[in-house]
Amino acid sequence: MHFSIPDTQELNEGNGSTFIGYNVHINGVFHCTVRYKQLHNLNEQLKKEFGCELVPPFPPKKLLPLTGNQLEERRCLLEKYIQLVGQDSRLVSSELTIGFLLSAQQETTCEKIQEINLDVYTMNNYQIPLRVSTFDRTEQVLIKAFKHINLPLEFLQYFSLFLIKRDNNGDFVILRKLLDFESPYMSQKSLREANKIVIRKSYWDISYDLSLMNDPIALNLLYVQTVTDIERGWILSTREVKSQLTNLQVRLAKREYLDLARTLKYYGFIQFAPCYCDYPKPLTKVLIAIGDQVLSMRIIGPGQLVKEGCFEVTRMRCWRITATHNKQAIAANSRTNSNSNGVELSFEYLMAKDTLQLITITSDQAILMSVCLQSLVDELLMKKKGLRKKQKYYSKGGNCSYMKRDGSSHLIVFDSNDVNSGPAEETETSKLPELFSIKKLQEKFSSVSFKTGREFIENHAFEGIGDDDL
């Protein structure tokens, strides 16, 4: 996940005094506003749970009121702290962090807990009407959607909820994947632009399809997603293959349809809106797609696609997100929760032995691209260990608390009916080191600096590349 604290705001405490709120953005979108003491309280709980050595250093307290320069310094240090937490799989997936971020979103939006109607859609626009709580987090909503369509919960790890919208040309654009530290209701409501919550598969290895295709409901979800992806051109096929697919569709031969579709180019990829890249030359207009362990780049020529290149994820040493920190744009983003503009994804690519080249993509979806790269490598490394599912980390004592802005606290209670509730056994996953570590990258490359809006992600799959792979 990509955390940032691009700006602050002065808020009224209610008794005439004021305090500084730090605006936390996650994956390029405003999530919540928190106080220093709230993050300090989270840090103390993380240290108690995981030990001081694992938890990154926290900015020290100050006895006197902060000057303008000191406030900016604290903002930068808090941003660095939360980025380090976000890049440690054990810390960021713990109940403590998930509960804190969900509670902070609730406090920031001032939502009251109540039952409401929430619609989730499949990719062919089939409506799944749900009755949820305004405070239900993403996994709880996904579980309710599964139960509504009678999909076994054993397939929960293979699907996720996404926010999508239509652009000015009527094409679908994936805004982002909803994560478990947020309320889908509040996240959708905070976006001014028209959008929908959809359920899509959320894995990269298409061999996982075979398990899902044995269940009729899971098969149907894969089928309708594939049909719509082919119709909108996200999956490419020839005229002859399209004719075969149409015949299979008429006969409702869903498994045969998927068997054929799984052989097509860009099956299992996520497609992004047109954007710009500095490769092979500056301001090259491209179409980006990510999947099958590659980042595919199609150069858009006059009237047609003229060239395609593929960058293997395992040959990317690291990548970085750079956001344009324009104060007016940040303030607007913090108020509206809109997606970031002017964001760059840069990655170092091993073109040949001992030859690295920095390639930069400029896109409103750059952070989503980075999240996709991270999850793809994550899945690749877990598969090498014989694993399929990421480990969640549960509180040993079961007592997670959230400090509110006014200093009062309440216990964070996770629904006991959630499929993943309960103590986690020590598995091979829990023994794995975190897959991405900014701290380790900083130690390895002393020239790396943590400037505002910059976040470096080390690719551990790159370390396994050998001369035979070149």
Domains detected in the chain: 3-110+399-431 (3.30.1520.10), 115-268 (3.10.20.90), 271-385+455-469 (2.30.29.30)
> HSE of 119 in the Cβ direction (CA atoms, 13 Å)?
8
Cβ-contact 13, 83 below 8 angstroms: no
Ordered DSSP codes for 287-347: EEEEETTEEEEEEEETTEEEEEEEEEGGGEEEEEEEE---HHHHHHHHHH-PPPSSEEEEE
Structure tokens at 409: 């606290």
Cβ-contact 275, 297 below 8 angstroms: no
Cβ-contact 317, 306 below 8 angstroms: no
Digitized pLDDT (tens) for each residue of the chain, 470 residues in all: 789 999 999 998 777 788 999 999 998 889 999 999 999 999 999 999 999 999 999 999 888 788 889 999 999 999 999 999 988 889 998 999 999 999 999 999 998 999 999 999 999 999 999 999 999 999 999 999 999 999 999 999 999 999 999 877 778 889 999 999 999 999 999 887 778 999 999 999 999 999 999 999 999 999 999 999 999 999 999 999 999 999 999 999 999 999 999 999 999 999 999 999 999 899 999 999 999 999 999 987 776 666 888 999 999 988 988 865 554 454 555 554 444 456 899 999 999 888 899 999 999 999 999 999 989 998 988 888 877 666 556 555 556 889 998 889 888 776 645 544 333 333 333 333 343 333 333 333 333 333 334 456 777 667 665 555 54
- pLDDT value of position 131: 97
- Please name which of 412, 418, 391 lies closest in space to residue 95, comparing C-alpha atoms: 412
Q: Is the peptide bond before 280 cis (omega within 30 degrees of 0)?
A: yes
State how far the Cα of 203 lies from the Cα of 210, in Å rounded to an integer. Answer: 13
Cβ-contact 461, 377 below 8 angstroms: yes
Number of H helices, E strands in the chain: 14, 19
Rounded to the nearest 5 percent, the helix, strand and coil shares of the chain are 35, 30, 35
- Looking only at the bridges linking them, the beta strands covering 196-201 and 115-121 are parallel
Structure tokens at 278: 């500095």
- pLDDT value of position 446: 30
- pLDDT value of position 456: 63
State how far the Cα of 255 lies from the Cα of 251, in Å rounded to an integer. Answer: 11
- pLDDT value of position 393: 61
- Please name which of 287, 276, 229, 299 lies closest in space to residue 257, comparing C-alpha atoms: 229
- Bridge partner residues of 172 (DSSP): 166
- pLDDT value of position 420: 43
- Looking only at the bridges linking them, the beta strands covering 270-271 and 275-277 are unpaired
Q: What is the DSSP letter of 271?
A: E
State how far the Cα of 38 lies from the Cα of 26, in Å rounded to an integer. Answer: 17
- CB-count burial class (<10 Å; 0-12, 13-18, 19+) for 253: middle
- pLDDT value of position 340: 46
State how far the Cα of 346 lies from the Cα of 348, in Å rounded to an integer. Answer: 7
- pLDDT value of position 115: 96
